[in-house]
């Protein structure tokens, strides 16, 4: 690239509380050095890019305080999208349009920050540029609370969600035991196919509580009779227990447990009852424990947006992934995603590397079955050792008056080429 | 009182994340000075006391680190109870038994830490002692996330729950807006009759977000048609909105909205659908907005157990209420509850006082109707000014490895008189 090219960055997939640390890292690196011209952001991912919803980050981020605040702001500050580029001829037209917009804005560097689907998108974009001899690099920046991306030890966003889940499970346990009555609290954790985040509930035990007493991941089929037998025995023995369950657990026949909890609401809509409610009903109906107090808690979007309890380790790694994505791009490496490679868990040592997007796109890294223990109701010590370093460190938040401040881009201030 | 009497403390009602700061204050004050003999704790409130489930706090709390950890541990560290002393002859027998146990253990000071029902209990105990000329003092230490106790400006536990609700609503809003689709998130907040905690969601706006767009408190009847009309208009205008609603809102005829959301689960049990789900269904069915993305979030026990996001102001006031309860008892004042009197909101100045339990027991302080604005969908500036100081300050947590440590009494180590 002869002259100074501009860059564009966009975000996609589901929110996390560390995703903006990654764009903060990329933006800082791009703005600090002289190799890059303007820094554009596409609002609402690829969909927004195709609609030319480009804003000038160079104009909207003006102080280091903006960067600090952005790091601690949860959920895509540039918005997200679930858009997928179609295959075949239709897709070719989209790629041509992408190229057209990039050239209009004189962009030489394209960054996409997201999970599996997003890595597939940036992979295809990078491959298209290569095949067409275009001198534009496309680099992926990993993000997902599901921790299910291939080629990386773990994903930015996971550690913060894991920290929230672990602390919340411990707190919920202390709340569950206050009355001398048989009680069960079932907490439902995100992760449709990969159980990493549900597994992280195990770290609640590091706070000195015995919860969670049972942990169910989606990697193994769920046996309702075995669950009822184990839970009832534990309740009889302990009095009160907490069960952590992935939203994605299935019966042996492949149907989701969540579906069986479905009930019709007041308008006759079939609502997904949620796994936790389904298991709660199951226990109430079949445990044989009279007066069983039960509660189902869905961590819902709280677990992926709880920036107020982010892991400092996660935020700094997320930032670094963004920073290194810009360096990889400047070195001309396209079609790669920044990865984290673990050298050791204790002491915790990592190094950053790059993985080929061709090996990452559409792959899903689930929990190794040998890390699931006790007949599919617990996780192994290897899992605990793997998880512990990821939740460490309290993020220095940007609080005013006891509450966080958030950074918000003005999504309506779109700019044309050259602006 | 001639010789050095012992004391007992117990906790009751629903959990909060600041309730143990109060017993920490009482315990510290009692152990630091020489006026009190042994410090006993009754496990599971009055019910446990009557069952002689007394533990020796003097033996179980041995370091200042124990006190620090106790302050940051959520939910009654001594367990709770919903037991109410019966009225009439049956009640007299219970009071006689209370007195018998107190004398057995040579206890001269009785402390009860809880909400409305608990203050009724300690009030009746104090009155019984007075009527029978017993030289035993009984003092109440306030606690409730509902903030509905009379005679006090606010209650210990409220500020921490308020801080959690405000930050979580802001985070959930940022999560709600990432896709360019019409969306609504409805968050359900605790407070069956008093809307203070739901009102605290307004502080989310202090973080720079417009949420919550609508706030519904139980103090006014809920009009479903007006709700649908307002929410639909806001969604059409803003794209995505967040609604904060108290679990206790009712139709004009006095029935709970939560009941109308009831559905039958897979075992035919009628489950309370929750207000948030009921409103979600209502909007989906009647808003006329096609493709409306909706989500109902119940903060559930998270909001009362989230010690990881306690307000430092709340924790220090809770501690001080416990400390002053012991001082009131040592001065021989019985039948009182420690109260917090506000001198000014900005700067925030309070003083502590004592209220007669006769004026507090069974009273319920709800939100003044003049603090509810915009046709029952918002709160006034007076409410904002009232709330702001209560959520201030980040509690210095006792973290190890990124996760909290909790203090736990050994409830099984009960002691006999003289032990």
CATH architecture of B6-145+307-363+395-404: 3-Layer(aba) Sandwich (3.40)
Percent of chain A clearing pLDDT 70 (strictly above): 95
pLDDT at A335 over 70: yes
Contact A417, A104 (CB under 8 A): yes
User: For residues B387, B388, B390 and B393, what is the CA-based torsion angle, rounded to 10 degrees?
Assistant: 160
CA B269 to chain A, closest CA, distance in angstroms equals 8
Task: Determine which of A321-325, B110-114, B231-235, B276-280 has the lowest per-residue pLDDT on average.
Answer: B276-280
Is the alpha carbon torsion for A239, A295, B159, B403 positive or negative? Answer: positive
Does the CB of A74 have a partner CB in chain B at under 8 Å?
Answer: yes
pLDDT at B266 over 60: no
Does the CB of B298 have a partner CB in chain A at under 8 Å?
Answer: yes
Task: Provide the pLDDT for residue B258.
Answer: 81
pLDDT at A83 over 70: yes
Topology of the domain comprising A158-304? Rossmann fold (3.40.50)
Cβ distance of B277 and A265 shorter than 8 Å: yes
CA A133 to chain B, closest CA, distance in angstroms equals 33
pLDDT one-digit tens code per residue, A157-201 = 999 999 999 999 999 999 999 999 999 999 999 999 999 999 999
Q: What is the mean pLDDT of residues B238-242?
A: 98
CA A167 to chain B, closest CA, distance in angstroms equals 6
Helix axes A19-32, A312-330, angle to 10 degrees: 40
Q: What is the CATH code of the structural domain delimited by A6-156+307-363+394-404?
A: 3.40.50.450
Closest residue to B76, CB basis, from A170, A178, A273: A178
d(CA B277, CA B271): 12
Does the CB of B157 have a partner CB in chain A at under 8 Å?
Answer: no
Q: For residue A16, give both structure tokens.
A: 């996390």
Cis peptide leading into residue B347 (ω within 30°): yes
Does the CB of A166 have a partner CB in chain B at under 8 Å?
Answer: yes
d(CA A285, CA A283): 5
Cis peptide leading into residue A370 (ω within 30°): no
For A279, nearest residue in chain B (alpha carbons): B266
pLDDT one-digit tens code per residue, B350-400 = 999 999 999 999 899 999 999 999 999 999 999 999 999 999 987 776 678
Residues of chain A positioned with their CB less than 8 A from the CB of B408: 208-209
pLDDT one-digit tens code per residue, A365-390 = 999 999 999 999 999 999 999 999 99
Residues of chain B positioned with their CB less than 8 A from the CB of A172: 301-302, 305
pLDDT one-digit tens code per residue, B27-40 = 999 998 789 999 99
Those residues whose C-beta lies under 8 Å from the C-beta of residue B284, and which sit 6 or more positions away, are A267, A269, B292, B294
For A393, nearest residue in chain B (alpha carbons): B402
Note which residues in 326-345 of chain B have CB less than 8 A from chain A: none
Percent of chain A clearing pLDDT 90 (strictly above): 90
Domains A6-156+307-363+394-404 and A158-304 share a fold: yes
pLDDT-derived band at B273, boundaries 50, 70, 90? low
Cβ distance of B406 and A48 shorter than 8 Å: no
Does the CB of B264 have a partner CB in chain A at under 8 Å?
Answer: yes
- Confirm whether A65 is a catalytic residue: no
Under DSSP, is residue A377 helix (H, G, I), strand (E, B) or coil?
coil
Query: pTM for the complete prediction?
Result: 0.96
Note which residues in 184-223 of chain B have CB less than 8 A from chain A: 185, 203-204, 206-209
Give the residue among B179, B182, B291 at the shortest CA–CA distance from B239. B182
Residues of chain A positioned with their CB less than 8 A from the CB of B284: 267, 269
Task: Provide the pLDDT for residue A30.
Answer: 97
Q: Which residues pair with A341 in a beta bridge?
A: A351
In A78-229 the beta strands, taken as DSSP E runs, fall at: 107-114, 137-142, 183-189, 214-216
CA A249 to chain B, closest CA, distance in angstroms equals 17
d(CA A76, CA A43): 9
What class has domain B158-305? alpha beta
Q: Domain segments of chain B: what residues?
A: 6-145+307-363+395-404, 158-305
Cβ distance of A261 and B260 shorter than 8 Å: no
Q: Which residues pair with A337 in a beta bridge?
A: A140, A355
Q: Which one of B49, B178, B308 makes the best mutation probe of the A interface by having the most chain A beta carbons within 10 Å?
A: B178
């Amino acid at each position: 690239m002869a002259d100074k090219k501009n860059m564009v960055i966009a975000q996609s997939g589901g929110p996390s509380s560390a995703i903006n640390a990654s764009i903060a890292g990329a933006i800082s690196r791009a703005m600090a050095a002289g190799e890059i011209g303007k820094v554009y952001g596409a609002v609402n991912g690829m969909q927004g890019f195709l609609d030319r919803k480009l804003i000038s980050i160079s104009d909207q981020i003006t102080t280091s305080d903006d960067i600090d605040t952005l790091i601690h702001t949860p959920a895509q500050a540039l918005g997200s999208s679930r858009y997928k580029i179609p295959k075949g001829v239709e897709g070719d037209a989209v790629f041509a349009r992408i190229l057209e917009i990039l050239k209009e804005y004189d962009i030489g560097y394209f960054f996409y920050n997201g999970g599996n689907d997003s890595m597939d998108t940036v992979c295809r974009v990078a491959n298209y540029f290569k095949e067409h001899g275009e001198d534009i690099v496309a680099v992926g920046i990993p993000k997902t609370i599901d921790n299910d991306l291939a080629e990386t030890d773990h994903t930015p966003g996971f550690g913060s969600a894991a920290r929230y889940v672990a602390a919340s499970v411990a707190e919920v346990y202390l709340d569950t035991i206050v009355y001398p009555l048989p009680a069960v609290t079932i907490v439902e954790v995100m992760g449709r196919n990969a159980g990493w985040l549900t597994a992280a509930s195990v770290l609640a035990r590091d706070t000195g509580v015995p919860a969670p007493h049972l942990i169910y991941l989606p990697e193994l089929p769920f046996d309702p009779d075995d669950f009822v037998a184990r839970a009832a025995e534990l309740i009889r023995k302990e009095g009160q227990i907490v069960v952590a369950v992935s939203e994605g657990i299935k019966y042996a026949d492949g149907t989701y447990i969540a579906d069986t909890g479905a009930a019709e609401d007041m308008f006759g809509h079939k609502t997904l009852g949620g796994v936790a409610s389904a298991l709660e009903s199951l226990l109430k109906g079949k445990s044989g424990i009279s007066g069983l107090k039960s509660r189902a808690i869905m961590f819902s979007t709280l677990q992926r947006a709880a920036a107020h309890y982010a892991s400092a380790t996660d935020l700094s790694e997320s930032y670094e992934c963004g920073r290194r994505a810009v360096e990889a791009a400047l070195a001309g490496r396209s079609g790669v995603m920044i990865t984290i490679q673990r050298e050791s868990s204790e002491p915790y040592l990592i190094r950053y590397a790059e993985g080929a997007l061709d090996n990452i796109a559409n792959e899903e890294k689930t929990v190794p079955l040998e890390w699931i223990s006790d007949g599919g109701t617990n996780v192994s010590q290897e899992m605990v050792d793997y998880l512990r370093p990821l939740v460490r460190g309290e993020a220095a938040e940007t609080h005013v008056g006891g509450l966080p401040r958030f950074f918000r881009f003005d999504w309506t201030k779109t700019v044309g080429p050259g602006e």
